[in-house]
Structure 1
Amino acid sequence: MSHTIIVGIDGSDNAECALQWAITHAQKTSAEIRIVSAYTVPGVNMSQADIVYPADFDDAVKKTVEDIAEAAAATVTKAGVPVSTTIVPGDASGVMVEHSKNAALAVVGARGRGGFAGRLLGSVALAMPAHSQCPTVVVPSTWPTRVMPTTPLPIDDPVRTSDRPSAEADGRSRPDFSGEVVAAVDPFETDTPVLRAAAAQAAIYGVPLRLVGVTATHILSPEWMPSEEHLIRMYDEAAKAFTASADSLKGDFPDLEVRFSIFDAPATEVLVSATYTADLLVIGSRGRGGFVSTVLGSTSQGVLSHAVCPVRVVRVNRRQPGRRR
């Protein structure tokens, strides 16, 4: 397998944030970095406007992109990481997707230079998790500074957790996943691509892995509300499944500490709230519901739009679900 990390560079501050994250990851994994930059020359409908670009306009655009890529490569070299650059004409999203075919990981910023100011995700950050042939890490525009929303999402305590009660925990207003890699997994599946990818990431960084699951009884039909006995049984079954998930990792990751928290709340709100403290969130590219044509699940899109820590998106094939209890 390739040990190359591709990084989309466009000269924006967010691209610099993505590059710094990629450098740190490459140092820990002995990977090399490939800087990928794309450029397009604006087209003009001559029937609508009498505009003629200078003959060397294409060369000037390309030279600007080359300078940006070379500066990024110099930063990588200074960090002691092997680096190469690729500069090609074309749409940035398409170019990154194409290069993901021969990469172990893609890293992009959540926002680039283009697009409308009000759009939460840039076009590349939206396209890569959905179509990339390798996992994609989307880095927030201010990382490593974690800019909290004006009104953080209110999240209740988990209904089940592996954490032991403590006076410090009782005094917190929300779950704290500081110093952990958080994996968003189905609480009733014991082995998934997301689980394995998150475990590998946590092992590389030498931090605990936190499994976060959502039971979603809050969206059940009001005509049928589960009894307290039913809820308790469901929560207990989810906790047993997460314990089995942790046990399944011991063979490949014997030194990895695995913790879990199970919530009964909207999935997007739980996962966005997790990014308030987690070092990294790992999610799947697909959800359970929605149309087959929706390549990136609605939960994944919501999380990527509002996350304040890096998010790693793992491709999940709908036809190959994880092993269920």
Structure 2
Amino acid sequence: MSHTIIVGIDGSDNAQCALKWAISHAQKTDSQIRLISAYTVPGVNMSQADIVYPADFDAAVKKTIEDTAEAAAASVTEAGVPVSTTIVPGDASGVMVEHSKTADLAVVGARGRGGFAGRLLGSVALAMPAHSHCPTVVIPSTWPTRVMPDAPLPIDLPVRASGARTAEADGRDRPDFSGEIVAAVDPFETDTPVLRAAAAQAAIYGTPLRLVGVTATHILAPEWMPSEDHLVKMYDEAAKSFDAAVESLRADFPDLEVRYSIFDAPATEVLVSATYTADLAVIGSRGRGGFVSTILGSTSQGVLSHAVCPVRVVRVTRRQPGRRR
């Protein structure tokens, strides 16, 4: 049976970016798309205001949403992808989360308007990675144009890496992940849901997989700073762990090229910087160590808010053992 991708549609340019990405992914994975549109009609306390909505106001709002969904469905059909449409009244975040129960992947824009908008990171883009029952891909508002920040984050080169590449930017060498899918993986774990999800995605797209880990010695208490010997030992242990992680993928992904880079820097900065060149970033909604501590931790929120490439978020509960997907 075909996999189902749900896409939040609200008529915004960012939602169109999300739909285009979803169509491309559906074509590669033989999936069907379910368009989700939610709408609300503002209520008015008539004792406090003299605003009167026309009797058919609700119908007019719904008709606008239907027209938007119809146009979106036509573009999906034109691309040769099976499509269905669901239009319901209610909060967009709640509607998307509910439909994620019967979906294999959710795709939303990082920003939007109407029911799907709000803050720098839109309400749906914030709620779905934290509460969705399936993985969520969040598409930047400018994608596929990769708009770089005015002041790109100054990330040092990795302390350990396999197949590392660099490119000069802003007068300095930076890690280059062009043509790769980047997965944020704990450098001391050898098999995690994020690792498996990223490997599957890379295999589908026929691109190399880059494992990115952070040792995070920069957050250690000033009372104890590791010696050079301690640092070398820790970096070597992380590299050994990543070698084991690469090996763990060989049975299921024998043709997949897997590389890794280990950094000693703030996790959010490392991952946001990776989105400057990566085709896709894959992160967990929760984790331990340098990557996330709350239901949608500061690292995840930071990456989703500032990424310039699509980001796939895999639901991972704290200390959840690695499993295959």
Q: TM-score range by the shorter chain?
A: over 0.9
Structure 1 partner of 2:309? 309
Q: Does the alignment pair 1:260 with 2:288? A: no
Change (3 A) 1:173 1:183: same
Structure 2 partner of 1:214? 214
Change (3 A) 1:43 1:154: same
**Any conservation in 2 of the 1:2–1:103 contact (CA below 8 Å)?**
no
Deviation at 1:165, TM superposition (A): 7.6
For 1:213 and 1:54, locate their aligned partners in 2 and report how far apart those are by CA, in whole Å.
57
The C-alpha deviation readout for 1:176-202, integer Å capped at 9, x for no partner, is: 000000000000000000000000000
Unaligned 5+ segments in structure 1 are none
Structure 2 partner of 1:131? 131
Change (3 A) 1:168 1:211: same
Amino acid in structure 2 at the alignment position of 1:312:
R
Structure 2 partner of 1:28? 28
Structure 2 partner of 1:18? 18
Which deviates the most, 265-274 or 44-53?
A: 44-53
Secondary structure at the aligned position of 2:173 is classed as: coil
Deviation at 1:237, TM superposition (A): 0.4
For 1:315 and 1:166, locate their aligned partners in 2 and report how far apart those are by CA, in whole Å.
31
Deviation at 1:294, TM superposition (A): 3.5
Change (3 A) 1:117 1:27: closer
Change (3 A) 1:2 1:220: farther
Of all paired residues, the percent bearing the same amino acid is 87
Change (3 A) 1:231 1:36: same
Change (3 A) 1:301 1:166: closer
For 1:9 and 1:164, locate their aligned partners in 2 and report how far apart those are by CA, in whole Å.
39
Structural mapping, 1:173-212, within 5 Å:
173-212=173-212
**Any conservation in 2 of the 1:114–1:122 contact (CA below 8 Å)?**
no
Amino acid in structure 1 at the alignment position of 2:296:
L
For 1:139 and 1:238, locate their aligned partners in 2 and report how far apart those are by CA, in whole Å.
31
**Any conservation in 1 of the 2:167–2:173 contact (CA below 8 Å)?**
no
Q: Does the alignment pair 1:99 with 2:99? A: yes
Deviation at 1:295, TM superposition (A): 1.3
The C-alpha deviation readout for 1:22-47, integer Å capped at 9, x for no partner, is: 00000000000000000000011112
Secondary structure at the aligned position of 2:202 is classed as: helix
Q: Does the alignment pair 1:284 with 2:280? A: no
Deviation at 1:114, TM superposition (A): 4.1
Q: Does the alignment pair 1:152 with 2:164? A: no
Deviation at 1:166, TM superposition (A): 8.6
Amino acid in structure 2 at the alignment position of 1:163:
G
Amino acid in structure 1 at the alignment position of 2:180:
E
The C-alpha deviation readout for 1:210-248, integer Å capped at 9, x for no partner, is: 000000000000110001000000000000000100000
For 1:128 and 1:233, locate their aligned partners in 2 and report how far apart those are by CA, in whole Å.
39
Deviation at 1:57, TM superposition (A): 0.7
| Paired residue total | 321
Deviation at 1:318, TM superposition (A): 1.1
Structure 2 partner of 1:300? 300
For 2:87 and 2:118, locate their aligned partners in 1 and report how far apart those are by CA, in whole Å.
29
Structural mapping, 1:67-106, within 5 Å:
67-106=67-106
Deviation at 1:322, TM superposition (A): 3.9
Change (3 A) 1:172 1:243: farther
Unaligned 5+ segments in structure 2 are none
Question: TM-score under structure 1 normalisation?
Answer: 0.94
**Any conservation in 1 of the 2:111–2:118 contact (CA below 8 Å)?**
no
Amino acid in structure 1 at the alignment position of 2:120:
L
The C-alpha deviation readout for 1:232-273, integer Å capped at 9, x for no partner, is: 000000000001000000011000000000000000000000
**Any conservation in 2 of the 1:287–1:298 contact (CA below 8 Å)?**
no
Secondary structure at the aligned position of 1:189 is classed as: coil
Change (3 A) 1:296 1:165: closer
Structure 1 partner of 2:6? 6
CA RMSD of aligned residues (A): 2.3
Change (3 A) 1:166 1:82: closer
Deviation at 1:288, TM superposition (A): 2.2
Question: TM-score under structure 2 normalisation?
Answer: 0.94
For 1:269 and 1:305, locate their aligned partners in 2 and report how far apart those are by CA, in whole Å.
12
Structure 2 partner of 1:53? 53
Structure 2 partner of 1:63? 63
**Any conservation in 1 of the 2:38–2:115 contact (CA below 8 Å)?**
no
For 1:80 and 1:120, locate their aligned partners in 2 and report how far apart those are by CA, in whole Å.
34
For 1:259 and 1:47, locate their aligned partners in 2 and report how far apart those are by CA, in whole Å.
65
Change (3 A) 1:3 1:164: closer
